[in-house]
Amino acid sequence: MTEFKEQGGPSTMDPPAHKRWIASQMLTNWVSYSGTDKRRIKHEKQRVDQKLPHHVEYFHFVDDPYSYLTAQILQTFSARYNIQLTCHLVSKPPGDNAPEFELLMNLARYDAYMIAEKYGLSFEDRKEAPKQDVIDIAQSILAAQDDQSFTSCVAEVSHAMWSDDKEKLLKLSKKFGFASSKEASEVVARGDARRAELKHYSGAMLYYAGEWYWGIDRLYHLENRLSSLGADRLPSTELIAPRPKIVSGPLKDSESLTLEIFPTLRSPYSAIAFDRAVALAEETGVNLSVRLVLPMVMRGVPTTTIKGQYIFWDTGREARAAGIPFGKIYDPVGDPVRRCCSLIPWAETQGKHLELIRAFYQCAFVEGINTNNNRGLRKVVENAGLSWQEAKKRIGDPEGAKMLERNRLALLDAGIWGTPSFRLLDSNGAQILALWGQDRLWRVADEIQQQLTKMI
């Protein structure tokens, strides 16, 4: 695992006060529920006025595990909803949208394996990517397809590729046809250009009327949206990919397992996952360890504006679906995060570190309070039930930096570098699983129940 910088360098510089305020106002407007609804109404009016079909575009990255999962439901999705589906081939995320790309793909293979069964899909537990010659054959087949034939063959082609079945792929190339290497490259270049035009960077993405949906994990949003517009041919039937529920029972632990939560104070996904993660630990009886780390951008991990905007907007959509308050934002990147983190060791001695984290999220992501000054930080501290007079003396405590470094190393040891992440440990402290993303809490909950079943 690459040793990312803890802090330092241009990426950790705090934005000037006026730029922080402007950026925060823009984010607040961008993620607002009313703004999303207005944009949806506008797109639907334009579609109806122009007598256009419901047009969904799908972006398939051949050797992406999440694209393989999505490929397995694409034909069912196309048949279920009254849509025009356009399929694009794309390459890996460009530039700083996917730093440490090989590590990301390693994690994606593990993650896809961990979630596939719940969705009724298949993905083998494998450490390595398919061989390049097998990937090239699969891409050449898919590049030769029109939208309809792509939809009908992509799952079969992808299965053969992920099975390293070169012989099967060669048979499929005769059955479905194939493009030359040059032609396939041109198809991918067109897909990349379209993805960039629509302002995204990833594979396994679906685009509909101004909004992006990430594969299996966000398909339920798109299904609900299409259903609300009368495009669902089976409206009384369960969604193709409903969001799995976080189930904390029926078994309860007696503190033999430990759930480690790795949040950052600037992560909007962490903000909407934190209370649910803490509740999961409390309801299941597992030990809880909250291990704050610095945001990736403050650890020298590069990112892009497009990615940042998508993350904040997607968090708003996820919060809305879960009924979690979110959206009035005052971005705490930089000094606000550092100052609050420096108070965590002291807050923990007072039994209030969870309350301090909650209060920070509430101020930064729900109430839009500027935590970059003493007035804002005081509100955080006092909302957590702590003394501001005592807190003032401890701002900048080096124990906070030491804590952050220990937690950073533990996160890397788990094979993950982003947040929020979750690690489940057995009674000996050995790792059972480690997952990245607020939308993996359901899988952590499932694993807790599986582990408790084994103990019976």
Q: Is residue 8's pLDDT more than 80?
A: no
Secondary structure (3-state) at 3: coil
Task: Express each pLDDT in 246-303 by its tens digit.
Answer: 999 999 999 899 999 999 999 999 999 999 999 999 999 999 999 999 998 888 888 8
Tokens 């061989």 sit on residue? 131
Distances (CA, A) of 374 to 14, 78, 192, 343, 392: 16, 54, 46, 13, 9
β-sheet bridge partners, residue 214: 205
Q: Which two tokens stand for residue 266?
A: 């600037």
User: Which residues fall within 8 angstroms of residue 312, CB to CB, at 6 or more apart?
Assistant: 27, 30, 31, 268, 329
How does strand 421-425 pair with strand 431-436? antiparallel
Give pLDDT, residue 2: 35
Distances (CA, A) of 88 to 60, 144, 148, 204, 456: 6, 11, 12, 10, 49
Strands of the 258-262 sheet, one edge to the other: 287-290, 258-262, 421-425, 431-436
Mean pLDDT across the chain:
94
- Helix-, strand-, coil-residue percentages of the chain, each rounded to 5: 55, 10, 35
Which residues in 161-293 belong to E strands, given as ranges? Answer: 205-208, 211-214, 258-262, 287-290
Residue 82: pLDDT band (50, 70, 90) is: very high
Q: Is residue 18's pLDDT more than 90?
A: no
Contact 69, 119 (CB under 8 A): yes
User: Which residues fall within 8 angstroms of residue 302, CB to CB, at 6 or more apart?
Assistant: 11, 96, 99
Q: Which two tokens stand for residue 51?
A: 């007598």
The distance of Cα 221 from the centroid of its chain, to the nearest Å, equals: 14
Residue 428's H or E segment, with its range, is none
d(CA 285, CA 256): 9
| Domains of the chain with bracketed CATH | 32-228 (3.40.30.10), 258-455 (3.40.30.10)
Q: Is 311 exposed, middle or buried (0-12, 13-18, 19+ CB in 10 A)?
A: middle
**Exposure of 393 in the CB half-sphere (CA atoms within 13 A):** 6
Q: Is residue 142's pLDDT more than 50?
A: yes
Task: Express each pLDDT in 95-120 by its tens digit.
Answer: 888 878 899 999 999 999 999 999 99
d(CA 310, CA 312): 6
User: Which residues fall within 8 angstroms of residue 78, CB to CB, at 6 or more apart?
Assistant: 85, 151
Task: Express each pLDDT in 44-62 by its tens digit.
Answer: 999 999 999 999 999 999 9
User: Which residues fall within 8 angstroms of residue 29, CB to CB, at 6 or more apart?
Assistant: 35
Strands of the 205-208 sheet, one edge to the other: 83-90, 54-61, 205-208, 211-214
The distance of Cα 22 from the centroid of its chain, to the nearest Å, equals: 25
